[in-house]
Protein backbone atom coordinates (compact mmCIF):
# COMPACT_ATOMS: atom_id res chain seq x y z
CA UNK A 1 0.00 0.00 0.00
CA UNK A 2 1.31 3.45 -0.92
CA UNK A 3 2.21 5.48 2.20
CA UNK A 4 0.24 8.66 2.73
CA UNK A 5 2.00 11.94 2.02
CA UNK A 6 3.12 14.03 4.99
CA UNK A 7 0.84 16.88 5.98
CA UNK A 8 1.57 20.01 8.05
CA UNK A 9 -0.77 18.87 10.84
CA UNK A 10 -1.98 15.50 12.11
CA UNK A 11 -5.47 16.04 10.66
CA UNK A 12 -5.30 16.48 6.86
CA UNK A 13 -7.75 18.74 5.09
CA UNK A 14 -10.59 16.68 3.52
CA UNK A 15 -9.74 18.00 0.06
CA UNK A 16 -10.53 14.72 -1.69
CA UNK A 17 -13.07 13.21 0.68
CA UNK A 18 -15.71 15.69 1.86
CA UNK A 19 -18.94 15.76 -0.16
CA UNK A 20 -21.35 17.78 1.99
CA UNK A 21 -22.74 21.25 1.44
CA UNK A 22 -23.13 24.49 3.36
CA UNK A 23 -26.03 26.93 3.35
CA UNK A 24 -23.66 29.79 4.18
CA UNK A 25 -23.88 32.42 1.39
CA UNK A 26 -20.08 32.77 1.49
CA UNK A 27 -19.89 29.33 -0.11
CA UNK A 28 -20.84 30.94 -3.41
CA UNK A 29 -17.49 32.72 -3.68
CA UNK A 30 -16.44 33.05 -7.33
CA UNK A 31 -13.30 31.24 -8.41
CA UNK A 32 -11.69 32.37 -11.65
CA UNK A 33 -10.69 29.38 -13.82
CA UNK A 34 -7.55 31.29 -14.81
CA UNK A 35 -6.66 31.89 -11.17
CA UNK A 36 -7.31 28.22 -10.32
CA UNK A 37 -5.04 27.13 -13.20
CA UNK A 38 -2.31 29.51 -12.01
CA UNK A 39 -2.62 28.20 -8.47
CA UNK A 40 -2.34 24.62 -9.71
CA UNK A 41 0.71 25.50 -11.82
CA UNK A 42 2.45 27.09 -8.83
CA UNK A 43 1.62 24.10 -6.63
CA UNK A 44 3.23 21.74 -9.12
CA UNK A 45 6.33 23.91 -9.33
CA UNK A 46 6.67 23.45 -5.59
CA UNK A 47 5.67 19.78 -5.49
CA UNK A 48 5.37 18.04 -8.87
CA UNK A 49 3.58 15.00 -7.39
CA UNK A 50 0.82 17.04 -5.73
CA UNK A 51 -2.82 16.30 -6.46
CA UNK A 52 -4.51 18.53 -9.02
CA UNK A 53 -6.42 21.61 -7.87
CA UNK A 54 -9.84 21.92 -9.51
CA UNK A 55 -12.76 24.32 -8.93
CA UNK A 56 -15.16 21.56 -7.79
CA UNK A 57 -12.72 20.30 -5.17
CA UNK A 58 -12.09 23.83 -3.97
CA UNK A 59 -15.80 24.50 -3.58
CA UNK A 60 -16.20 21.30 -1.57
CA UNK A 61 -13.38 22.40 0.72
CA UNK A 62 -14.98 25.84 1.10
CA UNK A 63 -18.29 24.21 2.01
CA UNK A 64 -16.55 22.00 4.57
CA UNK A 65 -14.80 24.91 6.25
CA UNK A 66 -18.05 26.89 6.49
CA UNK A 67 -19.82 24.01 8.27
CA UNK A 68 -17.31 24.21 11.15
CA UNK A 69 -17.83 26.37 14.25
CA UNK A 70 -15.94 29.64 13.79
CA UNK A 71 -13.38 28.81 16.49
CA UNK A 72 -12.64 25.42 14.94
CA UNK A 73 -12.41 26.88 11.43
CA UNK A 74 -9.91 29.53 12.54
CA UNK A 75 -7.89 26.86 14.34
CA UNK A 76 -7.73 24.81 11.12
CA UNK A 77 -6.22 27.80 9.32
CA UNK A 78 -3.94 29.07 12.07
CA UNK A 79 -2.27 25.75 12.84
CA UNK A 80 -1.19 25.43 9.21
CA UNK A 81 -0.12 29.05 8.92
CA UNK A 82 2.17 28.51 11.91
CA UNK A 83 4.10 26.01 9.82
CA UNK A 84 4.78 28.83 7.36
CA UNK A 85 6.30 30.81 10.22
CA UNK A 86 8.59 27.86 10.93
CA UNK A 87 9.67 27.72 7.28
CA UNK A 88 10.44 31.44 7.31
CA UNK A 89 12.59 30.99 10.41
CA UNK A 90 14.38 28.08 8.74
CA UNK A 91 15.18 30.08 5.62
CA UNK A 92 16.40 33.12 7.59
CA UNK A 93 18.40 31.20 10.21
CA UNK A 94 22.13 31.88 9.64
CA UNK A 95 22.98 28.54 11.28
CA UNK A 96 20.92 26.53 8.78
CA UNK A 97 21.85 25.99 5.14
CA UNK A 98 18.92 25.24 2.85
CA UNK A 99 20.22 24.42 -0.61
CA UNK A 100 19.46 26.89 -3.44
CA UNK A 101 16.65 24.77 -4.91
CA UNK A 102 14.88 24.58 -1.54
CA UNK A 103 15.39 28.32 -0.96
CA UNK A 104 13.88 29.06 -4.39
CA UNK A 105 10.82 26.92 -3.68
CA UNK A 106 10.35 28.58 -0.31
CA UNK A 107 10.64 31.99 -1.94
CA UNK A 108 7.83 31.15 -4.37
CA UNK A 109 5.69 29.82 -1.52
CA UNK A 110 6.20 32.97 0.56
CA UNK A 111 5.53 35.23 -2.43
CA UNK A 112 2.11 33.65 -2.84
CA UNK A 113 1.27 33.63 0.87
CA UNK A 114 2.21 37.32 1.17
CA UNK A 115 0.01 38.42 -1.75
CA UNK A 116 -3.42 39.92 -1.03
CA UNK A 117 -4.87 39.40 -4.50
CA UNK A 118 -4.45 35.66 -4.84
CA UNK A 119 -6.96 32.91 -5.66
CA UNK A 120 -9.28 34.03 -2.85
CA UNK A 121 -8.67 37.64 -1.83
CA UNK A 122 -7.24 37.80 1.69
CA UNK A 123 -9.86 40.36 2.78
CA UNK A 124 -12.64 37.75 2.42
CA UNK A 125 -13.78 36.81 5.96
CA UNK A 126 -12.42 33.38 6.93
CA UNK A 127 -12.13 32.12 3.34
CA UNK A 128 -9.42 34.61 2.39
CA UNK A 129 -6.73 32.43 3.93
CA UNK A 130 -8.07 29.09 2.72
CA UNK A 131 -6.12 29.11 -0.56
CA UNK A 132 -2.92 29.96 1.34
CA UNK A 133 -3.58 27.08 3.70
CA UNK A 134 -4.40 24.71 0.85
CA UNK A 135 -1.11 25.56 -0.86
CA UNK A 136 0.76 24.79 2.35
CA UNK A 137 -1.16 21.53 2.75
CA UNK A 138 -0.67 20.18 -0.78
CA UNK A 139 2.93 21.38 -1.20
CA UNK A 140 4.02 20.23 2.26
CA UNK A 141 5.72 16.97 1.13
CA UNK A 142 8.29 19.12 -0.68
CA UNK A 143 9.27 20.77 2.62
CA UNK A 144 8.39 18.20 5.29
CA UNK A 145 11.72 16.42 5.63
CA UNK A 146 13.82 19.56 5.96
CA UNK A 147 11.23 21.21 8.21
CA UNK A 148 11.38 18.22 10.58
CA UNK A 149 15.18 18.26 10.56
CA UNK A 150 15.24 21.98 11.27
CA UNK A 151 12.77 21.59 14.13
CA UNK A 152 15.00 18.91 15.68
CA UNK A 153 18.12 21.02 15.15
CA UNK A 154 16.42 24.01 16.79
CA UNK A 155 15.44 21.89 19.79
CA UNK A 156 19.00 20.53 20.05
CA UNK A 157 20.46 24.04 19.84
CA UNK A 158 18.16 25.29 22.60
CA UNK A 159 18.91 22.34 24.88
CA UNK A 160 22.61 21.71 24.28
CA UNK A 161 23.87 25.22 23.34
CA UNK A 162 26.53 24.06 20.87
CA UNK A 163 29.29 26.55 20.15
CA UNK A 164 30.97 27.59 16.94
CA UNK A 165 29.74 28.47 13.48
CA UNK A 166 26.54 27.20 11.95
CA UNK A 167 28.48 24.41 10.22
CA UNK A 168 30.04 23.39 13.53
CA UNK A 169 26.70 23.47 15.34
CA UNK A 170 25.07 21.29 12.69
CA UNK A 171 28.01 18.89 12.80
CA UNK A 172 27.61 18.58 16.58
CA UNK A 173 23.87 17.99 16.17
CA UNK A 174 24.41 15.22 13.60
CA UNK A 175 27.18 13.61 15.65
CA UNK A 176 25.11 13.55 18.84
CA UNK A 177 21.97 12.29 17.09
CA UNK A 178 23.97 9.47 15.46
CA UNK A 179 25.39 8.57 18.87
CA UNK A 180 21.86 8.43 20.28
CA UNK A 181 20.76 6.12 17.46
CA UNK A 182 23.78 3.84 18.02
CA UNK A 183 22.99 3.64 21.74
CA UNK A 184 19.33 2.90 21.03
CA UNK A 185 20.29 0.07 18.63
CA UNK A 186 22.70 -1.36 21.18
CA UNK A 187 19.98 -1.43 23.83
CA UNK A 188 17.65 -3.19 21.41
CA UNK A 189 20.25 -5.88 20.74
CA UNK A 190 20.85 -6.36 24.47
CA UNK A 191 17.12 -6.62 25.16
CA UNK A 192 16.61 -9.05 22.28
CA UNK A 193 19.36 -11.30 23.61
CA UNK A 194 17.38 -11.77 26.83
CA UNK A 195 14.48 -13.28 24.92
CA UNK A 196 16.31 -15.82 22.78
CA UNK A 197 14.29 -19.07 22.64
CA UNK A 198 16.37 -21.90 24.16
CA UNK A 199 13.79 -24.70 24.09
CA UNK A 200 12.71 -24.94 27.74
CA UNK A 201 11.10 -28.41 28.09
CA UNK A 202 7.91 -27.26 29.86
CA UNK A 203 7.47 -23.75 28.48
CA UNK A 204 9.08 -23.23 25.05
CA UNK A 205 8.61 -19.45 25.37
CA UNK A 206 10.16 -19.15 28.83
CA UNK A 207 13.50 -17.37 29.03
CA UNK A 208 16.12 -19.61 30.63
| CA atoms of 36 and 22, how far apart (whole Å) | 21
What residues have CB less than 8 Å from 79, skipping those under 6 apart? 8, 9
- Strand ranges for the chain from DSSP E: none
The confidence score (pLDDT) of residue 202 equals: 56
To the question of pTM greater than 0.85 for the whole model, the response is no
Label residues 134-165 b or e (16+ Cβ within 10 Å = b).
bbbbbbbbbbbebbebbeebbebbeeeebeee
> Confidence class of residue 201 from pLDDT cuts 50, 70 and 90?
low
Q: How many CB atoms lie within 10 A of CB 113?
A: 19
The confidence score (pLDDT) of residue 208 equals: 44
pLDDT single digits (tens) 108-138: 999 999 998 889 988 888 999 999 999 999 9
pLDDT single digits (tens) 47-81: 999 999 999 999 999 999 999 999 999 999 999 99
Amino acid sequence: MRPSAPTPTADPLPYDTWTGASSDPRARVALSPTAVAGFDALLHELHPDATRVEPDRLHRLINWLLTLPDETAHDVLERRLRRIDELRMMLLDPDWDSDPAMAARLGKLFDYIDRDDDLIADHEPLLGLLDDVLLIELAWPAFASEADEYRDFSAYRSEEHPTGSGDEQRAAWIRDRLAEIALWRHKLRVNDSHYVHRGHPEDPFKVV
